Amino acid sequence: MMEAKNTTRFTKLDGLRGLLSLIVALNHSFLVVSIPSFANVWKQNPLLFNSPQSKIQQLLMVLGNGGAAVTLFFLLSGLVLGPSLAKVKFNFRGLMSFLIKRLIRLYPVYILIVILTAIYMNTIFVHQTFPASSPWFNWWMNFQMTAKEFVLNLMLVNTYTGGVTWTLRVIVIASILFPVFFLLNNKTSWWIDICITLLLIYLSFTVFKIDNFRDLRYLYMFYLGLSIPKFKSFFIGIPNWTVHVLAPLMIVLFLSFRYLTNEYTGGVVEAIISFFIIGISAFSQKVTIFNFLDGKVFKFFGKISYSLYLIHFSVLYLISKAMFVNFPNLPYKDSYLIIHISLFVISTIVATAVSYLVYRLVEVPSQVLSGKVSSRVSH
């Protein structure tokens, strides 16, 4: 089952990133209005039926499982970091070039968001809570953007400026530790990689279970993603009919398991299913169930997925706050479903336009810069 490292670009995975960014946007859009019992679907009985509206809300929140999408993002990061690290020499200059390139790739869009948030919070912003807004919505932006807080958020010590910014700190920590993972992975067989992943999972529930610092609990996801190319022949050999039969069950488990358990137990199941989703999408040409990811729409969203992933929350927050301020008498309690759908559509349209501009003006130049800087450092 051992395979050589594969450096081919997998177009379906680009489309998958686009889909995941939309899932995260859907997740946040359905958390804005306060709904008794259905503000989220954690620990909610899926068989409980209060009304058609509440059941559709619950179903859409399962489809928009942002936590499961983040798990897939982490495995994808592990997969793409492997070939990137394979191109550098394992000396001080080579490793510094890898890390610098990674930070330049991640930071410019985030810095832009932190700066704009700081300007907004120190000019026209006033923190408000509203009778119809959820506790989740009220929690955000409830802090003073002092110079110290600005620096702490810029350094990812604090991550108060957006719904997904905490994941950047996880990715940065994983990137720093990744050379160790890569060296280990290069010297192991596939079954030892499974054992290492199981060990990291065990540590995530024991040693890495640190109060107010959950970042290390996701490291096994990056190692599992790194190991995917070793299973290329396995994925190629999976019969098409097997995938089509099992895929619906796998997707249901992927989207719902953490709601039935908790974030960390659910994350293990999500990681296993993500392993198969990524492996089949990347290597199995005869399996057609994921071919839709090669469509132009998903490829477009895949191209801007990183900017959209970070920007959509800020856009959603501004639109939602404007809604609560200017339309206090909307039937929030009775029509939360249509309000949430409207928020998702409007915020996604606006965030997509903004993200495309940020992609062209910030992401693309930073990618060029990261290549030049890392090349100079390595030589």
Could you report the per-residue pLDDT of 359-378, keeping only the tens digit for each? Answer: 999 999 998 988 888 778 87
pLDDT of residue 40: 67
CA pair distance 46, 260, nearest whole angstrom: 9
Residue extents of the structural domains in the chain: 11-378
> Which residues of the chain, if any, have pLDDT below 50?
2-7
Other C-beta atoms within 10 Å of 89: how many? 12
CA pair distance 112, 316, nearest whole angstrom: 17
pLDDT of residue 37: 65
Token look-up 């939360």 returns: 336
Q: What average pLDDT does the chain have?
A: 92
Task: Looking at the chain, list the stretches that DSSP marks H as alpha helix, in order from N- to C-terminal side.
Answer: 11-29, 52-63, 66-86, 92-121, 135-139, 147-154, 165-186, 190-204, 219-227, 232-236, 240-260, 263-283, 296-303, 305-326, 336-358, 364-378
Per-residue tokens: 262: 């908790």
CA pair distance 264, 203, nearest whole angstrom: 12
The burial of 47, by beta-carbon neighbours within 10 Å (0-12 exposed, 13-18 middle, 19 or more buried), is given as: exposed
Distances (CA, A) of 260 to 28, 62, 135, 267, 311: 19, 11, 21, 12, 30
Q: What is the DSSP string of 319-369?
A: HHHHHHHH-TTS-TTT-HHHHHHHHHHHHHHHHHHHHHHHIIIIIHHHHHH
Other C-beta atoms within 10 Å of 19: how many? 18
pLDDT of residue 2: 45
Query: Which residues neighbour 301 within 8 Å (Cβ) at sequence distance 6 or greater?
Result: 15, 17, 18, 19, 21, 22, 308, 352
Token look-up 């190991």 returns: 227
Phi and psi angles of residue 261, each rounded to the nearest 5 degrees, phi first: -125, -100
Token look-up 């959209």 returns: 308
CA pair distance 256, 327, nearest whole angstrom: 34
Per-residue tokens: 222: 């990056």
Distances (CA, A) of 1 to 74, 196, 198: 23, 17, 19
